[in-house]
């Protein structure tokens, strides 16, 4: 079954951005690979930067959907929910780590307005999802909760990417739950 022109353009752009980089990929390269005219490109996207924004947004939307499924399936079971959260991160790291680094690198070379918009969107989505996750776990969420979980996730990704030993998701779940449920008196 043939995809629509818009999807062909998105898939072609992602492939080329990952292979050649954002800066080295022209609209002509994208339209040629997608088998569409430049006019078709501009029917769906205002610019190459707009296309990059859409590519990143679609990836974030896919991850967000997977995250929402975890929240729905594991409600009321904190340790299982945290373990599923880290399993998702591990699966994402295995599947997308090199692509994510490439996209982050390419975003850093994008025009400043595009870079700022993508950075803001990405940061806002991460914070929103972490807040939703923590609130589901314990009924409330403050900035220190987000800091604990975000720091753990970043460390988890860095360790994975650099081939260091990563704690089991079971061990991480117990430690994170202890940290999030601990109350200073």
- Measured from the Cβ of residue 21, the count of other Cβ atoms closer than 10 Å reads 13
77-100 pLDDT tens trace:
888 899 999 999 888 888 877 777
This model's pTM is above 0.85: no
Question: In the 3-class helix/strand/coil scheme, how is the chain assigned residue by residue?
Answer: CCCCHHHHHHHHHHHHHHHHCCCCCCHHHHHHHHCCCHHHHHHHCCCHHHHHHHHHHHHHHHHHHHHHHHHHHCCCCHHHHHHHHHHHHHHHHHHHHHHHHHHHHHHHHCCHHHHHHHHHHHHHHHHHHHHHHHHHHHCCCCHHHHHHHHHHHHHHHHHHHCCCCCCCHHHHHHHHHHHHHCCCC
Assign domain 49-181 one CATH number from 1.10.357, 1.10.3210, 3.40.1440, 1.10.287. 1.10.357
Q: Is the pLDDT of residue 2 over 70?
A: no
List the chain domain ranges: 1-45, 49-181
Q: Which CATH number fits domain 1-45: 1.10.540.10, 1.10.150.80, 1.10.10.60, 2.60.40.420?
A: 1.10.10.60
Give residue-wise pLDDT tens across range 37-64: 999 999 999 999 889 888 888 888 888 8
Residue 3: pLDDT band (50, 70, 90) is low
**pLDDT class of 9 with cuts at 50, 70, 90:** very high
pLDDT band at 26 (very low <50, low <70, confident <90, very high): very high
Predicted confidence at residue 87, as pLDDT, reads: 92
- The residue among 6 and 19 whose pLDDT is bigger is 6
Q: Rounded CA gap, 165 and 126, in Å?
A: 25
């Amino acid at each position: 079954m043939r995809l629509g022109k818009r999807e062909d353009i998105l898939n072609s752009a992602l492939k080329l951005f990952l292979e050649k980089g954002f800066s080295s990929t022209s609209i002509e390269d994208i339209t040629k690979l997608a088998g569409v005219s430049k006019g078709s490109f501009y029917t769906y996207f205002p610019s190459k930067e707009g296309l990059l924004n859409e590519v990143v947004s679609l990836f974030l939307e896919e991850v967000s959907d997977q995250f929402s499924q975890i929240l729905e399936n594991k409600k009321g079971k904190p340790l299982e929910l945290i373990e599923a959260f880290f399993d998702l991160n591990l699966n994402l790291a295995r599947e997308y780590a090199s692509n994510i680094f490439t996209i982050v690198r390419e975003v850093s070379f994008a025009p400043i307005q595009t870079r700022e918009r993508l950075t803001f969107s990405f940061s806002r989505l991460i914070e929103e999802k972490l807040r939703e996750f923590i609130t589901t776990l314990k009924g409330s969420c403050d900035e220190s909760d987000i800091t604990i979980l975000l720091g753990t996730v970043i460390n988890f990704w860095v360790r994975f990417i650099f081939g260091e030993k990563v704690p089991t998701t079971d061990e991480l779940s117990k430690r994170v739950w202890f940290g999030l449920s601990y109350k200073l008196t």
